[in-house]
Structure 1
Amino acid sequence: MAKLKSIIKIEGTLDGLTFYKGKEGYLVKTKGGVSSKRIKNDPAFVRTRENGAEFGHCTKSGKLLRRAIADFMVDAKDNRVTSRLTQVMSRIKNLDATSPRGERKVGIGLVTPEGKLAIKGFEFNDRALLSNILKADYTLDTTTGEVQCADFIPVNDLNPPEGATHVSVASGVLNINFNTDEKDLQISPVVNLPIDTTSTVLTLTPPSMPVGTGVDFYLLKIAFFQEVNGVQYPLNNGAFNALQIVEVL
């Protein structure tokens, strides 16, 4: 790397030299690295191409899942959810024992028990884990998607953030096929409760089970609000909201 001392300031590439502006002024360096053409065609980079293809597939699979539940997770996610989900998809892809290297698929790995287990319990907001927030036991009917807590007392059964006065709870079932990109999400009506000592039979039932030939993801979401003058406001823009994949079938 060298400094450029000239009355003419250049940025860009010229004759194999790259000119750019850095903290120390205008700098110049020689063009290096392997060309994209060589990576695409040289047999020496076959493993690089295979890894790149599978990484791209895992990224796409994570994006498909996020988009499928975009409205549900909009206020219950952290800023690293994309990369964390891609890592999980990569582990699931590795469970595809039938496809050749470079062509292994998330959809094939996910049908294995190990694949389902790899994503079960995934938290979309690692700043607010459902397992830390919800202290009550609940049941899940996988034939209807219904989640029920027989004796739910918010002040006892939650670890609410400071300032929260109300809580909203909802469940969802997503059928998603990573081989065809088909998806269907069904969400229960939201139950909103004050965080007090009132006992409630909390029942969350989606309007129907989703339609599709893919895998069923069962989701549970908890969101906190603060009431001011009769109006409920999201607490800290949803920073304390939890959304978890509680079951995969």
Structure 2
Amino acid sequence: MAKYKSLFNVEGTLGEITFYKNKDGYYIRSKGGVSKERILKDPAFERTRENLTEFGRTATSGKQLRQAINVLLFDAKDGKVTSRLTKALSLVKNHDATSPRGQRMVSIGLATAPGKASLKGFDFNKNAVLNSVLKAQYSLNTTTGEVIITDLIPNQQLAAPSGATHVSLTSAFLNLDMDNDISDLQISPIANLPLNGLATTVTLTPSAPATGTGISFYFLKAAFFQVINGIQYPLNNGTFNALQIIDIQ
């Protein structure tokens, strides 16, 4: 692999040479690698095929989770959330102790305590980690999905970004059956507070418990806004909004 300088920025393959770009600049390398047909058929690549199968299933599980909470996720995620979630779910999959190698599944891993622990606390926006944004203690009722933050003092217990004047807090309760791709998401009414010094007990209760035979996920979200002429606008398109899986049952 070599770095090259040219009057023209070239990307693609020319004969046996491939030109490509990464974050450090433009590079050149010789074309090579194992053919797709050999990977799919050669016994020597059996482990590779097993890994690819499990990776595909894990990526699908991540997609199911993201789609199930899209209404929460759309303004509280970073640009690499897909790959980060897939990596986290790969650890969950490893806790499937019953399936043969190459067939391990996230859904079975999540049925175990270590599997749940691997995903609990996952932040969908690495630029706004909930434990750094929210400095107050809260309680969770796993039967109803209700979250209570007692005597929250917004300007002391929230690490609000510069320019923010208000915060919206939301809890959510998801039941997700990955095997059958069935989900039920219940979201609490939004609690919108000015970022002042008044202590307020915030109660976030989803409209109903999530139903189904899958795994139960619980979320807490903090979104920041700025008031201009009496209207609240999302701050920096949600760059500093936090969304975390606070528990899994």
Alignment TM-score > 0.5, same fold: yes
SS of 1:216's equivalent in the other structure is strand
After TM superposition, give the deviation of residue 56 of structure 1 in Å. 0.8
- Superposed CA deviations along residues 42-71 of structure 1, whole A, max 9, x for unmatched, are 111101100100111111111111111011
In structure 2, how many angstroms separate the alpha carbons of the residues matched to 1:109 and 1:21?
41
Unmatched tracts of structure 1, length 5 or more? 2-10
- The share of aligned pairs that are identical, in percent, is 55
Which position in structure 1 is the counterpart of 2:194? Answer: 194
The 3 A distance-change label for structure 1 pair 244 and 19 is closer
Which position in structure 2 is the counterpart of 1:239? Answer: 239
Residue identity opposite 2:42 in structure 1: D
In structure 2, how many angstroms separate the alpha carbons of the residues matched to 1:231 and 1:28?
54
TM-score, length of structure 1 as denominator length:
0.88
Which position in structure 2 is the counterpart of 1:124? Answer: 124
After TM superposition, give the deviation of residue 33 of structure 1 in Å. 2.5
In structure 2, how many angstroms separate the alpha carbons of the residues matched to 1:119 and 1:28?
38
After TM superposition, give the deviation of residue 155 of structure 1 in Å. 1.3
TM-score, length of structure 2 as denominator length:
0.88
The 3 A distance-change label for structure 1 pair 12 and 145 is closer
Unmatched tracts of structure 2, length 5 or more? 2-11, 22-27
- For the pair 1:72 / 2:72, whether they are aligned, the reply is yes
- Given that residues 221 and 241 in structure 2 are in contact (C-alpha distance below 8 angstroms), is that contact kept between their aligned partners in structure 1? yes
- Report the number of matched residues: 233
Give the 5 Å matches for 1:79-90: 79-90=79-90
SS of 1:213's equivalent in the other structure is coil
In structure 2, how many angstroms separate the alpha carbons of the residues matched to 1:150 and 1:160?
18
- Superposed CA deviations along residues 125-172 of structure 1, whole A, max 9, x for unmatched, are 011111011111111111111111221221122111111100000000
Residue identity opposite 1:200 in structure 2: T
CA RMSD of aligned residues (A): 2.1
Residue identity opposite 2:78 in structure 1: D
In structure 1, how many angstroms separate the alpha carbons of the residues matched to 2:88 and 2:241?
21
In structure 2, how many angstroms separate the alpha carbons of the residues matched to 1:201 and 1:28?
60
In structure 1, how many angstroms separate the alpha carbons of the residues matched to 2:173 and 2:29?
55
Which position in structure 2 is the counterpart of 1:212? Answer: 212
Give the 5 Å matches for 1:6-17: 17=15
In structure 2, how many angstroms separate the alpha carbons of the residues matched to 1:146 and 1:22?
50
